[in-house]
Amino acid sequence: MGEGKVTSMDVARLAGVSQSAVSRVFTPGASASAATKAKVLKAATQLGYRPDPLARAMITGKSGIIGLVVAYLDNQFYPVALERLSRALQAEGYHILVFMAENSTEGVAQVMRELLDYRVDAIVTASVAMTNELTNLCEASGIPVVMFNRGQDDPRLSEVTSDNIAGGRAVAQFLIAGGHHRIAHIAGWQGSSTGRDRARGFREGLAAQGRTPVAEVDGMYNRDTAATVAREMFGTPDRPDAVFVGNDHMAFAVMDVLRFELGLRVPEDVSVVGYDDVPIAAWPVYDLTTIRQPVNRMVSATVEALLSRIAGEPEARHIRIPGPLVLRGSARRPKGFQP
């Protein structure tokens, strides 16, 4: 074959098939008989041939690549969710291109433009907000976007989240049923839909019983910020007797401060409830009562929404999936309470 790059034509000659047959074998979802596939793969292995996805994109307009944009992985929810999402998309024949973006307008914009240069077929964003300018850019390029675990008030963007409002309400009902009177909230970042919706549901759940939070502070989805807030919130004699923390990542920091710095007992002195149900929540050292994000259902809904948009479905989907309250030992459990 000489020393030049092996092409699909070389594979076709050796396999005794057409070049289009080679293309079908290496195109996800394309039709090729078992016999043709076997001959093509045997010839490709013998020649050391690998298809060039970018070259294929130039011809077909489809790269078989999904761009995945995430702002941070500190929260243990995201490594678990993104691994499952990547595997699910790979099972559909797509390659995953992961970009880390600073959680800022400029940082996200730079990453999104780079993804468009790679001719991705679609983009999934996680813990990242979309500006109107970026949405317009993706729309003009024909690139559908699905937001995972984040929503936005834009009918053009598909989004898949847990039912954050219902989750916040469930926590309020649980803590009131447990006989708590001074209930506080260390919220998730209020610049995000998840933080706002969980806080809204929590306030509504309290209000339904004629109650309001004794304190509500934005923890910014940041462990250090949550720890600082906990020191201030619980370092006084009139401290809260229960706290709903906007995600597990912050809740672990709050529990560490309560127990190891302030000498308070959990749940005897303070009940703590989180949101996400990451694997560490079940460890005996935390044993955290929390709202479980239905990760598998969220991933399935995201993949379905993504494939539908790639196939040309014009309507964006807005999906909110309810998650259960998981009762463990970090919060006082009301007698006979059924979540």
| Mean local confidence (pLDDT), 213-239 | 97
What is the percent of the chain with per-residue pLDDT over 90, rounded to a whole number? 67
Is residue 183 over pLDDT 80? yes
Cβ distance 264 to 255 under 8 Å? no
Q: Dump pLDDT digits (tens) for 300-317.
A: 999 999 999 998 888 899
51 vs 157: which has the higher pLDDT = 157
Neighbours of 314 (CB within 10 A): 8
* Dist CA 254 CA 223 (whole Å): 8
Q: Provide φ and ψ at 101, rounded to 5°.
A: -125, 140
Q: Cα separation of 236 and 242, whole Å?
A: 14
Q: Residue 160: CA atoms inside 13 Å, Cβ hemisphere, count?
A: 22
Which residue reads 């790639």 in tokens?
A: 310
Token pair of 173, please?
């009902």
Domains of the chain: 8-51 (no CATH), 65-162+295-321 (3.40.50.2300), 164-293 (3.40.50.2300)
**How far apart (Å, rounded) are the C-alpha atoms in residues 69 and 108?**
8
Which residue type is seen at 247?
Answer: N
- Token pair 């998309």 in the structure block, residue: 89
Q: Are 275 and 75 in contact (CB under 8 A)?
A: no
pLDDT at position 161? 97
Report the distance separating Cα 132 and Cα 130, nearest Å.
7
Average pLDDT along the chain: 91
Secondary element (H or E) of residue 183: strand 183-187
pTM of the predicted model as reported, rounded to 2 decimal places:
0.84
**For residue 30, what pLDDT is reported?**
75
Q: What are the tens digits of pLDDT across the range 39-83?
A: 999 999 999 998 776 566 555 567 788 999 998 888 999 999 999
Higher model confidence: residue 253 or residue 157?
253
**Sheet containing strand 158-162, strands side by side:** 95-100, 65-70, 122-126, 145-148, 158-162, 318-321
